[in-house]
Amino acid sequence: MSKTGLSAGRPDIARPILHRDWRDTYAARLIVTDVLVLIWVVFGVQIAWFGLAASDIQFRGRLNEVAVSYTIFSVTLIAAWTLMLGIYGSRGYRVLGTGPQEYKQVADGTVRLFGLVAIVAFLFHVDIARGYILIAFPLGLGVLILSRWMWRQWLSVQRLDGRFSSRVLLVGSEASATHLARELARQPSAGYLVVGACIPSGLVADYLPGTEIPVFSNVEKLQAAMAAVQADTVVVTSSDELAPHRMRELSWSLEPGRQHLVVAPSLTDIGGPRIHTRPVAGLPLIHVETPRYEGMKLYTKRGFDLLGSAALILCLSPFLGIIAIAIRLSTPGTVLFRQDRIGINGRHFNMLKFRSMVTDAEARLPGLQALSEGNAVMFKMKDDPRITPIGRFLRRFSLDELPQLFNVFGGTMSLVGPRPPLEREVSEYENHVHRRFLVKPGITGLWQVSGRSNLSWEDTVRLDLYYVENWSMTGDITILWRTAKAVVARDGAY
């Protein structure tokens, strides 16, 4: 059977793992760096605020003669802060590596510690220097999050080679196991390395189709299969072949604390905030909220677009003027290029760009279609002969997109959203792709920060539809930040 597809560039799934659980190792390293960060911040603020001389906390009322130095208070604060980060699960393996939950747990623990200190100070009439507290807590939170972000970059690199990842044995039908294996392979940074598959229907094969993942046929010998591939996590991809009592027995067969069970429903591209688990009558029901494109979220997004585009236009106006003059003097033709695009609810609008091509570029397009280096729908060409010298520079840094800020200000586009398509592209869409018209198109979006012209059409659609189904203001801000990095890297821009 073929071993292409997922086999290319994937880590060696047969490599033995260390006996000590990577989760414990990683959590221990986080504890060490958390403590070092807090020592640096808390004592740094103490020295900056009070100097090197010893200073005591002041008590009012009957405790006015009690003397407690700020050094003792700082040590206590560091210990309590470290403990609070553990209590709120900021080092739990379920939140490490991907998603914002780890940062939320760090922030929750910090804010609650701040509140606890304030309550204790009020109840016991403790006069703690306000500047010391107001500097230490936000600075500590910021440096903690920076430290966790740095650890996450390191962890992502390790997971590309299969280290510090859950070694997964898939249990389910051949189709569902293959699909989930491909989806997990897209994001190795999530920390799930698929090392085997168990097909309860009795299928016997060397590998899952198109992969290097070995297949086992007897779910009754699950522990033997896990030992063979040194798996520590079982992921059930479909329960059609597994009766409820067999699912229960499967969970009982796993070693508590060392082996883990995950049930993967037949859902993909669903954002975390839309998922809620609710146990009912012993059944783990998963509630998936349907996307909503109305109400306060839309007003918030429009306000963000309006203020953001206005601020950028104001700040970049001298720069926009320089680009306009350079285009006008370098080649004949207009400064701006207007092109008919399809926007929200299928409405047409004129999208603005700085002209980066010769004036008869559209007329030359039919003769170049056969040379397209883009995907199945979008025309892309690295060395497009229609691009002017100044246009090549503008495209390299995505500066030709800047006039779209006026589209955003006018309301036909958003700062973040799906790519605005041409009418000829829309004519080739399958029915489900039209869901991208439920929101306004954007200057940037998930596809732009994930490879742009290097993506296949299927990946472009998948990313755009994921955004449509799961958009949020937090996600928009994250995409804008990633856009800035992508522009600097110039990856996929041509």
- DSSP character string of 287-310: EEPPP---THHHHHHHHHHHHHHH
With a cut of 70, say whether residue 53 has pLDDT above it.
no
With a cut of 80, say whether residue 89 has pLDDT above it.
yes
pLDDT, tens only, 140-166: 999 999 999 999 999 989 888 888 888
pLDDT, tens only, 247-281: 777 787 888 778 888 887 766 656 555 666 666 66
Instruction: Give pLDDT, residue 312.
Output: 93
pLDDT higher for 282 or 160? 160
Contact between 395 and 493 (Cβ < 8 Å)? yes
What are the structural domain ranges in the chain?
22-160, 165-266, 296-489
With a cut of 60, say whether residue 17 has pLDDT above it.
no
With a cut of 50, say whether residue 8 has pLDDT above it.
no
pLDDT, tens only, 365-405: 776 665 655 555 566 666 677 888 888 888 888 888 999 99
CATH fit for domain 165-266, picks 2.60.40.10, 3.40.50.720, 3.40.50.620, 3.10.20.90: 3.40.50.720
Nearest to 231 by CA among 159, 160, 171: 171
Q: What are phi and psi of 187, to 5 degrees?
A: -130, 75
Measured CA distances, 205 to 6, 100, 213, 340 (Å): 17, 39, 10, 52
Q: How many residues does the chain have?
A: 494
Alpha-carbon torsion, ordered 232, 237, 242, 247, to 10 deg: 40
